[in-house]
């Protein structure tokens, strides 16, 4: 697995976003709360992560402690954008409240959820 040197941490209020590119997959590690005040940081990171074709993104929500409908909407938009670009989106979700929120809206039925980042990246490899 190769990790690119363009790791960048950007603070957005109560949410920080760290972007890492690994073997052609953009990984966005989020830490904090995603709500109407902080969702702009996620939205900006997702727009930068987008490639015209074959967009492959893993969003690691394992350090997210709270998410409201703003975060849910951003994840739905990211999923739709990835599909439109013939790519995919995977989520790492382990926290109870965030997991429950995403399950309540049914996102787990359309976007693959993984318990760890390693699992999400392994599922993205050919033959996995």
Q: What is the pLDDT of residues 64-74, one digit of tens each?
A: 999 999 999 99
Range with lowest mean pLDDT among 4-18, 36-50, 79-93, 94-108? 4-18
- ∠ CA 30-35-40 to the nearest 5 degrees? 70
pLDDT band for position 9 (cuts 50, 70, 90): very low
Query: How does residue 125 score in pLDDT terms, banded at 50, 70 and 90?
Result: low
State mean pLDDT over 26-30: 94
Helix (H/G/I), strand (E/B), else coil: 85: coil
The per-residue pLDDT for 85 is: 87
Which pLDDT value is given to residue 126? Answer: 57
Percent of the chain with pLDDT over 90: 60
Per the CB < 8 A criterion, the answer to whether 75 and 39 are in contact is: no
Task: Indicate the pTM of the whole model.
Answer: 0.85
Taking 90 as the threshold, does the pLDDT of residue 127 lie above it?
A: no
- Which whole-number Å values give the CA distances from 67 to 6, 75, 88, in the listed order? 27, 11, 22
Give the rounded distance of the alpha carbon of 66 from its chain centre: 15
């Amino acid at each position: 697995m190769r990790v690119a040197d363009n790791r960048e941490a950007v603070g957005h209020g109560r949410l920080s976003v760290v972007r890492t590119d690994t073997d052609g997959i953009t990984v966005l590690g989020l830490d904090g709360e995603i709500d109407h005040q902080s969702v702009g940081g996620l939205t900006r990171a997702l727009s930068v992560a987008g490639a015209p074709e074959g967009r492959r993104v893993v969003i690691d929500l394992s350090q997210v402690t709270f998410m409201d409908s703003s975060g849910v909407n951003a994840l739905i938009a990211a999923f739709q954008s990835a599909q439109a670009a013939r790519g995919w989106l995977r989520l790492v979700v382990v926290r109870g409240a965030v997991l429950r929120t995403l399950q309540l809206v049914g996102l787990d039925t359309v976007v693959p959820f993984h318990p760890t980042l390693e699992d999400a990246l392994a599922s993205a490899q050919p033959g996995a």
